[in-house]
Amino acid sequence: MNYQAILDEIYDEVQPELHKGKVADYIPALAEVGKGQFAMTVTLDNGQVFSVGDSGKQFSIQSISKVFTFTLALDVYSRELYKRVGVEPSGNPFNSLVQLEYENGIPRNPFINAGAIAITDALISYYRDEYMTLEVIMNFVREISNNPKLSFDPLVANSEMEHGDRNLALARLMKSFGNFENDVLGTVFTYFKHCSITMNTEELSRAMLFLAFGGTDPVSQKQFITPSQTKRINAVMLTCGHYDASGEFAYHVGLPAKSGVGGGIAAIVPGKMSIAVWSPALNRYGNSHAGTLALEKFTTKTGLSIF
Residues recognised as catalytic: 63, 66, 191, 243, 261
Residues touching ligand GLN, count (CB under 6 A): 12
Q: Contacts with ligand GLN in 268-287 (CB under 6 A)?
A: 286
Cα–chain center distance at 2: 27
The verdict on 261 binding ligand GLN (CB under 6 A) reads: yes
Cβ atoms within 10 Å, residue 284: 11
The verdict on 260 binding ligand GLN (CB under 6 A) reads: yes
The verdict on 63 binding ligand GLN (CB under 6 A) reads: yes
The verdict on 62 binding ligand GLN (CB under 6 A) reads: yes
The verdict on 167 binding ligand GLN (CB under 6 A) reads: yes
Quote the least distance from Cβ 269 to ligand GLN, whole Å. 23
Mapped onto helix, strand or coil, the DSSP state of residue 39 is strand
The verdict on 160 binding ligand GLN (CB under 6 A) reads: yes
Mapped onto helix, strand or coil, the DSSP state of residue 237 is helix
Residue 44 or residue 100: which is nearer to ligand GLN going by CB?
A: 100
Residue 168 or residue 219: which is nearer to ligand GLN going by CB?
A: 168
Residue 71 or residue 229: which is nearer to ligand GLN going by CB?
A: 71
Contact in structure between 92 and 98 (CB atoms under 8 Å):
yes
The verdict on 113 binding ligand GLN (CB under 6 A) reads: yes
The verdict on 94 binding ligand GLN (CB under 6 A) reads: yes
State the Cα–Cα distance between residues 229 and 234, nearest whole angstrom: 9
Quote the least distance from Cβ 264 to ligand GLN, whole Å. 9
State the Cα–Cα distance between residues 39 and 56, nearest whole angstrom: 8
- φ/ψ of residue 72, rounded to 5: -65, -45
- What b/e sequence results for 116-150 when a residue is b if at least 16 CB atoms lie within 10 Å of its CB, and e otherwise? bbbbbbbbbbebeebeebbebbbebbebbbbeeeb
DSSP 79: G
State the Cα–Cα distance between residues 205 and 94, nearest whole angstrom: 23
The β-bridge relationship of strands 257-259 and 39-44 is unpaired
**CB nearest ligand GLN: which residue?**
63
Q: Which residues pair with 60 in a beta bridge?
A: 198
Quote the least distance from Cβ 295 to ligand GLN, whole Å. 17
Quote the least distance from Cβ 117 to ligand GLN, whole Å. 8
Binding site residues, ligand GLN, CB under 6 A: 62-63, 94-95, 113, 160, 167, 192, 195, 260-261, 286
